[in-house]
Amino acid sequence: MGVFTSAEGYEPTGHEQVVFCQDRQSGLRAIIAIYSTAIGPALGGTRFYPYASESDAVRDALDLSRGMAYKNALAGLDLGGGKAVIWGDPDRDKSEPLLRAYGRFVESLGGRYYTACDVGTYVQDMDVIARETRFVTGRSEAHGGAGDSSVLTAYGVFQGMRAAAEHRWGAPSLNGRRVGIAGLGKVGKHLTRHLLEDGAQVVATDVSERAFDWARAAYPQVDLVSDVTELITSDIDVYAPCALGGALNDDTVPVLRAAIVSGAANNQLAHPGIEKLLDERGILYAPDYVVNSGGVIQVADEIEGFNFERAKSRASKIYDTTRQILELANHEGVPPAVAADRLAERRMADVGRLRTIRLPRER
C-alpha cells in the first residue's frame, strides 16, 4: 500500500499529510493520516490494533481518514478529516509512556489534527494523551469532556435507520420490523435499546460470549444467533453492522436478506463496486459515514465546551441528511453511497474555497 498512490498503484490517495511516529523506549509505532483540512482542522479517532503488517496499518489509516473527512463534511462540522492508528496490542502494549509519547506527536502537528477514541482506545486514554497535547477530544466528564461517544453514535444510527425506513416503507419507524445487529459492543448496546423502545424486534450476534451474557440479562427478548452468516441469511428487514469494517462484501451481499442496511461500523463497503451490487439487489444502503457521525458530533462539541443537549440536537439532523442523500440518489439515478460522496465533496469544495479569501492575520 503506497502513501502517494492507491492500492492499485494508479490513482493518488489525495491525502495532505501522513506522519509516521516512533518512540522506541515506550514501543510506540503510530501513523497519523490527514486527508483534508479544507473545512478546518482534521478530526478523527485513534485506533489501537494489532495489525498483521505495517502495510495493513497504513491502509487502515488512509481509508479511515478519508472517511472522516466525508463524515465531518456531511455532519455539518467545520472540521476536516484525519485518523491515527497505533500498531500494537492494546491489552499488552498500552502504557502511560506510550500514550503520552503519542500525545506529543499529536501536539507537534500544531492543531492540524485533533484525536479522539476509536477501537482499542477509551476516554481514560484520551485523558492521558491530553497531558501532552491540547488537541484531543473524547475526554472523560471529570475533565470536561463528552465521555462515551457511543451514546450519540447509536442515536445517530437510529436516526439514519428511521430515515431509511421512511424512504423504503413510508413511515419513519422500525415498529414491527426485524433488525439484525452484528456487534453488541458499546454502540450496539445503545442501538438495541433505541430499537426496542421503538417497537422493533431485534436479533443479534457477537464474537464475544460476554456480549451474549449481557444481552440475555439486559434484554431477554432479543434473539441471539451464533454468527454473522446466520444473522444475514435470516428473515430480517434491516441489517446493522456495528463491528469492524468490510461487512458488505462479495460473499455477504448476495445472501443478505435485509431490505435496508444501516449500521455503525466504519468502511462497511469492502471495495468499490459493492454499492452497485447492493443497488442491483434492491437493498437500500444508508451510507455508514453519514449515519454513524453522531459520535464525532459528540466529541467535536468539546472543542466549543461540551453541551450534551446541543450535541444531541446536531446529531438529530442525521435523519434529515440521510433523507436528503436518499432523495438525491433517486433524483440522480445513483446508489446512495455515490450521492453521499458527491454531497460531501461539494461542501468541502464550496467551504474550502473560502480559504482563498485571505484575512489580515493570515497575510
Q: CB neighbours of 250 closer than 8 A, spacing ≥ 6?
A: 270, 274, 277
Nearest to 68 by CA among 49, 81, 59: 81
Active site residue 83: yes
Q: Which residue has the cell 436518499?
A: 326
| Cβ atoms 157, 294 nearer than 8 A | yes
Q: Which three cell numbers stand for residue 233?
A: 441469511
Q: Which three cell numbers stand for residue 219?
A: 434484554
Decide the pairing of beta strands 113-114 and 178-182: unpaired
Per the DSSP assignment, residues forming a β-bridge with 205 are 182
What kind and span of H or E run contains 112?
none
Q: Which DSSP category does 261 fall into?
A: E
Annotation: binding site: 183-188
Annotation: binding site for NAD(+): 183-188
Alpha-carbon torsion (349, 352, 354, 355), positive or negative: negative
Strands (DSSP E) along the chain, which ranges?
Answer: 17-23, 28-36, 42-43, 46-49, 80-87, 113-114, 178-182, 201-205, 223-224, 238-241, 260-261, 284-285
In this structure, how many other beta carbons lie within 10 angstroms of the beta carbon of residue 49?
18
Which of the following is catalytic: 71, 83, 94, 189? 83
Nearest to 46 by CA among 64, 69, 63: 64
Q: Which residues are catalytic?
A: 83
